Amino acid sequence: MVHDRRWAGDLISAIRCAAVLLGLLFLIDWGADTLSLRRGALWSALAALLFLLLCPDRIRAGEGWLSSRRLLVTRRVRTDLLVSVRCLDGITQRLVLRDALGERIELDPRVLVHNPDLWHRLHEDARKSLTLGTLLCGTTALDRVSERVERETAETVFRVSDLA
């Protein structure tokens, strides 16, 4: 089983951001002498909301499956039975995976770019789906992610070996 190696660091960053916001709001309110129990609860709720927005999904994969776990919800898709893979463009790019069982996962393609072993597991299973004939659309999206992963890996190798 492989997982997102950056998840723990991203989680700590989300906690830090929420804590800094809470501390600053308390400090400003305390300095202005307007801190009350009601305002403290409001600031705490605001910091908790920021944490919920920044909290990263925990992505894991094994042979034939990929899961995405949020705070209360876990989604799992069979990667060896993929039906479609699409890239959604917007403020943040998302990769949407759908399987033959009707399950769906959205994930940030950067997770795959920063975790080549996770990408390799997904790519192998997507090829199985393609040979089985279940993957009807999405090869272009997979090719784009593959190019990104290869480019990032090559840049990392050049950077580490002082060739860049």
What is the model's pLDDT at position 86? 92
Phi, psi at residue 158, to the nearest 5°?
A: -65, -40
What is the model's pLDDT at position 164? 58
Contacts of 13 (CB under 8 A, 6+ apart): 54
What is the model's pLDDT at position 111? 93
Tens of pLDDT, residue by residue over 140-151, are: 888 888 898 889
What is the model's pLDDT at position 19? 98
CB 6 within 8 A of CB 59: no
Query: For residue 25, what are its two tokens?
Result: 């709001």
| Residues 159, 164: Cα–Cα separation, whole Å | 5
To the nearest whole percent, how much of the chain has pLDDT over 90?
Answer: 71
What is the model's pLDDT at position 158? 87
Longest distance between any two alpha carbons in the chain, whole Å: 68
Could you tell me the pTM of the whole model?
0.83
Side chain identity at residue 22, one-letter code: L
